[in-house]
Amino acid sequence: MKVATLAECLAEGRSPEILFWVGCAGSFDERAKKITKAFVKLLHNAGVDFAVLGAEESCTGDPAKRSGNEFLFQMQAMTNIEVMNAYEVKKIVTTCPHCFNTLKNEYPELGGNYQVVHHTQLLRDLLNEGKLTIADGSFKGKRITFHDPCYLGRANGVYEAPRELIRKLDAELVEMKSCKSRGLCCGAGGAQMFKEPEPGNKDINIERTEQALETQPDLIAAGCPFCNTMLSDGVKNKEKEDVLPVMDIAEMIATAKDL
């Protein structure tokens, strides 16, 4: 399976419909790369005309901005915008809610105007349009709880797309005691992913994992590579990693399709 970059497309005189913004975690993090690959397989399967930026992609600047380094953020943003505008990018899909939020909300003012969707939104649309189908029942009847990523849910009001997908998998969606607009953070946002937590009596991901465990799930579904890491660590901490997988929704659909 070949993944084209926008540079290659340009050389061939093609301009793909969608740019898949992979993000730093999706590019480098071992766990997140699995999500990237699963999503790409689904895009291929659905016949989506897409490309990536490859080596021309650079951090959106989200962790710099949330750390207070506005200068570094805007440097990153404007460099990325220059690249994307040169390729006349119109629509972006990303598997990372942090990239999604930054590209969608903070780039326009700096000259980057794109239609930005989260991968769960695109997958839902592909299913609704019949371009993607789920036949196999690997998740049928399974108890699945979904962890709302802060930057998808509260930050941008997207609660339903991931849930619709879980229902389409014939799974039983069970909600945690704080969910949707009151969902508890996994503890990674605001650049916390990259530092040690401040002194306290518990780590946030443990608290959230405990909430997930209360629902007695067969699987924890995530929609963000950082949440995924945080919750996987939480499940490991509870010594449940052998019985309780943490999966991105894209991975679940890819598994159900045996891709």
Binding to other proteins in span 114-143, by CB under 8 A: none
Structure tokens at 49: 């005309």
CB of 141 to other proteins, least distance (A): 31
Rounded CA-CA distance 85/45 in Å is 28
Stretch that binds other proteins, among 47-55, 137-145, 212-220, 246-254 (CB under 8 A): 47-55
**DSSP at 149:** P
C-beta of 67 vs 170, nearer to other proteins: 67
Place of tokens 């937590």: 197
Report the b/e string of 128-157 with b at 16+ CB within 10 A: eeeebebeeeebeebebbbbbbbbbbbbbe
Q: Give the span between the Cα atoms of 210 and 147, in whole angstroms.
A: 12
DSSP string, 209-257: HHHHHHT--SEEEESSHHHHHHHHHHHHHTT-TTT--EEEHHHHHHHHT
- Binding string, 79-108, against other proteins, x = CB under 8 A? x--x------------------x--xxx--
Exactly one of 16, 46, 61, 174 binds other proteins (CB under 8 A); that residue is 61
Q: Could you tell me how many residues of this chain bind other proteins (CB under 8 A)? A: 77
Contact pick of 10, 15, 27, 170 for other proteins (by CB under 8 A): 27
Taking the C-alpha atoms of residue 102 and residue 65, their distance in angstroms, rounded to an integer, is 10
**Chosen residue from 11, 71, 160, 216 binding other proteins by CB under 8 A:** 71
255 is a site residue for other proteins (CB under 8 A): no
Q: Ramachandran region of residue 66, left (φ > 0), alpha (ψ -120 to 50) or beta?
A: alpha
- Say how far apart CA 64 and CA 44 lie, in whole Å: 33
113 contacts other proteins (rule: CB under 8 A): no
- Give min distance, CB of 46 to other proteins, in A: 16
Among 15, 31, 45, 75, binds other proteins (CB under 8 A): 75
Residue 18 engages other proteins in binding (rule: CB under 8 A): no
Measured distance CA(83)–CA(124) in Å, rounded: 29
User: For residues 174-203, which are near other proteins according to CB under 8 A?
Assistant: 178, 181-182, 184-185, 187-203
Which residues inside 199-228 make contact with other proteins, applying CB under 8 A?
199-204, 206-208
In this complex, which beta carbon is closest to other proteins, that of residue 59 or of residue 169? 59
